[in-house]
C-alpha cells in the first residue's frame, strides 16, 4: 500500500513501534507525552480484583491500568510517521502482544529500577523474536543510584542493545529514545544475520 501525504509526491513511510514493560512503568505516560494526536487509551479504573495481583507498592497513586493497548502517532517529517502501540503490562494481558507486535520495527522496553524483575518478560519476548529493542530506564526515584554497567549486568543485556535514561513525561526525552530505537533497528538490518 502506498501512503501519500497531501500534495507531496513522496511516499509516506509508516513505522510501527511498541512501548512495552511491566505494570505501572510509564508506557501510557510515554505514549501520551509523545503523540501529536489525542492518544487512544484503553485505561480502566483498577478494582478490588487487582488486590494481591498488581503490586501498587512502588506506584501507590496509580488508579488506572491499560487493558488492551495505547495508541499514538508522531509525524517525523514529510516522509516518516511513527505509530506507537503501548502494550498492557500485566501478565493476564500478554496474549495480545503477538498481535500488537505484528509488523513492528522494534520496541522500547521501559524499566523501573525499583522493580527490575518486571521488565524481564518484555526483554525475553523481543529477544526470542529477534526484534530490535532498546531498554529505557524511566526516571523514577532511585534510578540514578545505579550506573549503566550495573543495570546492563542486572538485565543481562547483550552488548549491542542500547540502554538509555529517560523521563516518560518529557516529550524530548521520549523522542530521543525513539531515535535511538530507529537507529538501532536500521543498524541491525544493515548487518547480515549470523544464523
Look at 51 and 112; give whichever has higher pLDDT. 112
- The answer to whether 55 and 115 have CB atoms below 8 angstroms apart is yes
Q: Give the contacts of 52 (CB within 8 A, at least 6 positions apart).
A: none
Burial class (CB in 10 A: 0-12, 13-18, 19+), 92: exposed
Q: What are the Cα distances from residue 131, in Å, to 92, 120, 181, 184?
A: 22, 15, 11, 11
Per DSSP bridges, beta strands 80-86 and 11-21 are parallel
Angle (deg, nearest 10), helices 171-190 and 27-34: 100
End-to-end CA distance of the chain: 31
Residue 1 is predicted with a pLDDT of 39
- Cα angle 129, 130, 135; round to 5: 105
Mean pLDDT over each residue of the chain, to the nearest integer? 83
Look at 45 and 27; give whichever has higher pLDDT. 27
Residue 54 is predicted with a pLDDT of 58
pLDDT bin (cut points 50, 70, 90) of residue 195 is very low
pLDDT bin (cut points 50, 70, 90) of residue 23 is confident
pLDDT at 2 over 50: no
Q: How much of the chain exceeds pLDDT 90, in percent?
A: 55
The torsion angles phi and psi of 112, rounded to 5 degrees, stand at -105, 115
Look at 167 and 189; give whichever has higher pLDDT. 167
Judged by average pLDDT, the poorest of 8-17, 22-31, 146-155 is 8-17
CATH of 13-189, one of 2.40.30.30, 3.40.50.300, 3.30.1330.40, 3.40.640.10: 3.40.50.300
Judged by average pLDDT, the poorest of 59-73, 105-119, 137-151 is 59-73
* Alpha-helix runs per DSSP H in 2-75: 27-34
Give the tens place of pLDDT for each residue, 33-44: 999 999 887 666
pLDDT at 64 over 80: no
Amino acid at each position: 500500500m502506498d501512503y501519500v501525504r497531501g500534495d507531496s509526491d513522496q511516499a509516506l513511510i509508516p513505522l510501527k513501534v511498541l512501548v512495552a514493560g511491566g505494570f505501572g512503568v510509564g508506557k501510557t505516560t510515554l505514549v501520551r507525552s509523545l503523540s501529536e494526536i489525542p492518544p487512544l487509551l484503553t485505561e480502566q479504573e483498577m478494582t478490588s480484583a487487582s488486590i494481591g495481583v498488581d503490586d501498587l507498592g512502588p506506584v501507590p497513586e496509580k488508579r488506572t491500568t491499560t487493558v488492551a493497548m495505547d495508541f499514538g502517532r508522531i509525524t517525523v517529517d514529510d516522509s516518516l510517521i511513527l505509530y506507537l502501540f503501548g502494550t498492557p503490562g500485566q501478565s493476564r494481558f500478554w496474549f495480545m502482544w503477538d498481535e500488537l507486535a505484528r509488523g513492528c520495527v522494534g520496541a522500547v522496553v521501559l524499566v523501573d529500577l525499583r522493580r527490575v524483575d518486571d521488565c524481564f518478560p518484555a526483554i525475553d519476548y523481543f529477544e526470542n523474536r529477534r526484534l530490535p529493542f532498546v531498554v529505557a530506564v524511566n526516571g523514577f526515584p532511585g534510578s540514578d543510584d545505579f550506573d549503566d554497567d550495573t543495570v546492563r549486568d542486572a538485565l543481562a543485556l547483550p552488548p549491542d542493545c542500547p540502554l538509555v535514561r529517560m523521563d516518560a513525561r518529557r516529550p524530548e526525552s521520549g523522542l530521543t529514545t525513539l531515535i535511538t530505537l530507529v537507529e538501532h533497528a536500521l543498524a541491525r538490518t544493515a548487518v547480515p544475520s549470523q544464523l
